Structures are given as C-alpha cells and as structure tokens.
Structure 1
Amino acid sequence: MVNELMPETPENDDYANRWLKATLELTQALQKQTSVRGGLRLVTQRLRVVSGADYVAIGLTDPHLPVGTAFIEVVDGMGFEDVSGNFPHASERSELWTNVIQSNKAVISSDIPLHPGFQPPAELAEALSTLGPGMYLPLAVSGNAFGVLVAGWRRGSSFETISTIVPLMQMFTDVVALALQQVRTHSMVLEDRERIAGELRDTILVRLFDIGTRMHVISGMVGQTEMRRRLQDTINELDGTIRQISATVFALSDARTPSRLPLSAQVLEEVEAVSNTFNQTPRLVVHGPLNGLPEWLEQELVLAVRESLADAATHQAVSNIEVFVQVTADKLALTVSDDGQAGKRLASGSVPVRLRKRARQLGGTCTVRADGPTGNILSWQVPLHGMSD
C-alpha cells in the first residue's frame, strides 16, 4: 500500500514554503536539544511528515571504526517508530552506506532494494524489501560526511513525483546536518565535562581528604604551640583548596539536570559550619567510598552529621572533637567524639531523639556513651540496604 502522505508534484511556491518552514522549525528545535538521539528522532519524524516517506533512518559514523562505517541510530516508519538503534551495520559493511559517506554524494534510486550494495541490517531486511523509490543523502559539514540520511517509499509510489523533491530533500539535509553537528559537539563537550568532574571527585578530592586527615592527626601530636598554629594554617589552606575543587566539580556537572555537591563536600561544609561554635574546625576522618551512595542516604548522613555536631555543642569545655565516617560493604557509620562534659543528659543515657528515631526507621541504631571521666561518643549507623521511607 502506497503511503497516503505521498506529496503531490510541487507546482507552486506553497509546497516549497512548507519545506522551508519545516526546516526552520526543526533547526530551532535542534538548538534546544542536548541529546544526539533525541535530535535524530526529531529529524526522522519531521522528514516523514513533510516528504511523505514510508521509512526514514539516520546512520552516524564512529571515529573508532573503519572509515565509511556507520551505525543506524534512529529508524522511523514501517512499524519501527519505537525502535532505538544501534543496528550493527558496521559488521555487515554495507557498501551503499560506505560509498555515500566516502564520496559525499547522494544516491537516488527508483527501486532502492535492487541498488548495488543495498545491505540492510537483518532486523530490517524483510520490511525494507517492500520499498521502491529511495534516497541515501550524506549528512556533511564542510565537505566531511559524518552520517547518512535514508528515505524510502513503498513499491508502487511514483518515482517521478518523488524525484521532483530531491532538491528540497538535499536542502533539508544540508541544514539539518549543520544543526545535528552542533548537537553532537555540544554532547561531546558535556561528556568531557562529566568525565573531568568525575576524575576530580573520585580521585583528587579523595586524596586531598586523606592528606587532610593525616595532617589533623599530626596536629594533635605536635606539642609546640607555634608549630601547631602553622600546621593548622596549612590545614585551613588545604580545606580551602578542597572547597574550590568541589565548586569546580559542581560547575562542571551536567547542566541538563539539577546538580548537587558530592557527599564528601557536603559533610565538609557541615563540619566547617560549626568551627566558630567550637573555636576550631572538628577533625574529619573518612574511610571508604563516601561518594556514590544513594541520594536519600546522602541526605540522611548529612542530617546525622549536623544533629550530632549540634548535640556536641551542648557539652562543656570541648577542646577536641572528631567526626569519623565509614562506609563498608553493608553499612554506613558515623561516630562523633569529643572530650567535653555532657552532664546529666549523658548520665541518663539519652540520645538525640530525632537521630535515634530516624536510625531505627532505617533499620540502624544511634547510641551515646561516655568516654572516660570526661568525653562522649555518639555512634550512628544504618545498613546500606535500608529503606528511604
């Protein structure tokens, strides 16, 4: 059956204007796209409507594959609307695709399945055998083809009618190629930014936290006041560097979705927020892969750190305070210890009510115990398989 959308022969400027309007609307839509696959889908859908084609597909090259090789990324029409590539055209080495990409020249045929080199992927072969007229148009920018746009009409469609829209198809393809190349470039930039942010977050920040932790330990071992002051100044500079890198990671994060600071940076912010309260910055020690936890668990830990430090601030004569966070294969644990005097509240064995209640809801525990004649240790832990409700 011939596609009912098959256009009539263009006899006036109205038909050409419809193509121009469709091309303009599509390029404007592509400017808002950050996903290559989403942009390709827009192209195939719009082209089918304006051209009346039964089948439209787009294949893109891959710089890591042999020259001329293309993967079919998006297919639309003939029952393939919900199909999402990649069809393994690379393994079949379609001669027709290769020739179009390497020569940067279009192929127009009255019976595309009979054209030399027509080798569709096995998944599409049976359906595409019913095509008649077809076009293979290179997607190129500055003479360099990076893909192929394919349009086909079922056998029985008028090739004479279709051949009259070839100039319009080529105009459409040239404009769309430039817009698609911009989408691809933007997508690559975002991927690079994500990669750099990931390296900073997963490697550099972890190492800096480790160095800072060791310096905190050394600071507690140094007896000379002047040496301790200089060491503390260095620790403060290191903390500042960590904050700057955290901000850089935040800025590099993908702009398409709301971004949050990594958990390590959030915990550091909570620790530094109480520095005026204790007249010092609590020592932070982290063991295990802190970043990468589920978002709901990140929120629970940040809240636990905040509540624990608020509880420690009620103690008298605190001169040393440490925040210890540990992630193991099966649990997330927080220990906040100080050398202050908790008074009657500790003697009664109570703990911050909110922390204890929430820990139990998550299948964990929260306890407070004395550490010698003076001193307090608050321990909070939840299983990693806990529920967020």
Structure 2
Amino acid sequence: MDEDSVRQTDPAVADALDGERNRQEDTLAMIASENHVSEAVLEAQGSTLTNIYAEGYPGKRYYAGCEYADDVEQLAIDRAKELWGADHVNVQPHSGSQANMGVYLAVLEPGDKILSLDLTHGGHLSHGHPANFAGQIYEVEQYEVDAETGYLDYEGLAETAAEFEPDMIVSGYSAYPREVEWERIQDVADGADAYHLADIAHITGLVAAGVHSSPVGVADFVTGSTHKTIRAGRGGVIMCDDEYADDIDSAVFPGMQGGPLMHNIAGKAVGFGEALDADFEEYAQQTVDNAAALADRLQEHGLELVSGGTDNHLVLIDLRPSHPDTPGKDVEEALEDAGIVLNANTVPGETRSAFNPSGIRAGTPGLTTRGFDEDACREVADLIYEVVDAPDDEGVIAEVSERVDELTDEYPLYDD
C-alpha cells in the first residue's frame, strides 16, 4: 500500500500509519469485532469518492456529479440483496450503531419501549444502554441469558415481554457464542405485537455464507456492520421488507445523517463482491471451525467458557472459576504485551466493574483471514493459556511473544 504522498505531506501521520500497519502485521488480531480487509477494499475506501457529496439515493440526489456514486451505491445494494436475500437494503449508515438508530427512528417514537439483552450478558450499547442514545430516548427493559447454561433464556424473554409490552424486541448480540433461534424471538415479538430488530453486526459474514441461520425474512428489520466477519470495510447496513423501505430510507437520510460516506460505500461494494465468491463460504466455515478448535483447547487447559463452547466466531472466557484473582483487564494487557490482541469482557453474573471485568473475549475472523487453520488456532489457545496462567511473568510474556513473531511471519497479512 503506497503512502508516499502522505509521507511527503505529513510525516507525522505517515509515521502513525506505518506504525499501525506494522502493529497489525506483527500481532494476532483476536478482537471478535475486528478483521482485515483486502487491499482492494482499502483502495476503494481511500478513493476519490471521498471528495463528493451525494445526499439522497441513486437516481435521486440533491447534488450534481453523482453518476459514478450512483453506480457504486447500486452495486453495493444489489450485492447485499444477493448475499442476504433481502428485499430492501440501505447501505448508507456509517456504522452498525447508526443502522440501529435508523431502524428506531423509522418506526418508534420517543418514549417507546425496547426489550433487549443486558450488556453484561452479551448485548450491545446501541440496544438500549443508558449511556447510549437508545437508552436516553426510549424506555428500555432487558432480558438475560441463563446464568447456569450461558444460553439465551427464551422462556424468560417471553415472560418479560408479556409483562413489559415492548414496542420493539432486539435480538443479535456482541458477545454471545451460540447460534440464535430467530424464529423463537419472532414468535415472542408477534405475541407482544412488537417489531423485531435482529442485529447481526458480528455474524454478517457467517449469515451471508450460510454457516449461521439467517434472520432475513424472519425479523422485521436486520442490521449489521460491514467490517467484522464480512470484511467489507467500516460501515453499517439495514435490511427489511419492501413495506418498510421508504420509512427506513427517510430515517437514514435526512433523518439521522446528511451526505453518505461514498468512499466507505465503495469499500462495501468491493467487499460484498468478494463475499459472493465461492471461496468466501470456505473462509466463513473455517472461521467457525477455528473458533471451535480454539474453544476446545482452552477448555482442555481448564478455562471455563460461557455456554461451554461456541457455534460462531467467538469464545467468551469466564476467568473466575480457574483464576478468581485475575481480572480480565490484566489478562488483556499481558496478552497485548505478548502480541495477542483481544479484549476484556463482562460475563453473565458479572461481579466486577465493566472497566475491569471477569472475562475475556476472543474471535477468529482476523486469524482466519491470515490463513490460520484449526491446528494453528489450537497453538494460539496454548499461548493464551500460558499468559492467563502467569500474566505477571515477564519470562512467559517474552516466550509467547517470540512464538507470536514466528506465527505472524508464517502467516503474513499483506504483501509488501
């Protein structure tokens, strides 16, 4: 990737860009919400489309000079429809959170009721946390996973819905390692006469490839991020039936944002095109297989996983049973020192602060993009356990770091 012009114009920024590329090259990205896009997506997102304003939608812009923007956005829309089988797609949201905002604005009024999963049980801020816009504008009640099993408590969800009488139920999660039964949640929504929003931000790619069940055609609205398991660059997407198309489009523009980021939409178009290739299904399946291998080996080491394993791209480790005096933030920092980048995370029944919780979350999308298979992920699990078991041991950190260096050399990220 050529950054010569940046270096000539702004060496300080160029140094930071070089540093970030080297950081990604030389570490193992295991934050479950991160991935590595192709150089084609990077080029599209750094294209001259960043120069134009394109308020409106293809064929109905408020500015002249949008013919090529129209082409790119229509390609992104058409490819998204093919990937997920949606009737209507809006590719303009800048993020998954803004996609959720677009849905809320389309069909809810301030003060309406949202029922969503508790953040400490795997939900997301934009589903109604009080610090987020959703929690400030709407009345929010939350359901939970079963504390014993770590699985969604569908019966508890139904009981809460009957009592709370929500206007919208939100499904889809940021730290839930099991497959979601969309139809069961839709049945609850139908019984409550509520809308159902399925947020597939984490599993967009898995759903597109058919390795996770799809809520498209089940839920009223489906939102997602485009930079996690789908590898299409940063941004969001909304899918719905045709009956909600006008409401969604009006909520996104002019409801919540002005001109779309057309360079990001170009990245989405390229990434969606890549996801339509047959080998993307192999990638998605390998991502799931790698997560299963990671989970099994971590359990062999005696670490406890929420729900006892995984069906998707992530594992959630509860450190309390095996390492009760080791909070997640300490492990996160020690692993980063060793070159393995993941995040501390709350777990069901959390007993610590969200700033220094009792768990860690690890994902395999980025490793799989680099070419890791199950054996390589088992070795990564071994390295994670070594650090979890001795986060203050500088010798252990140094040994793990050395092996991480060997793995990143063996599985390079981008060609020079």
Structure of higher RCO (CA pairs closer than 8 Å, 6+ residues apart): 2
Category of TM-score, reference length = shorter chain: under 0.3
Higher fraction of strand:
1
Per the normalisation by structure 2, the TM-score is 0.23
Per the normalisation by structure 1, the TM-score is 0.24
Indicate the structure (1 or 2) with the bigger Cα radius of gyration: 1
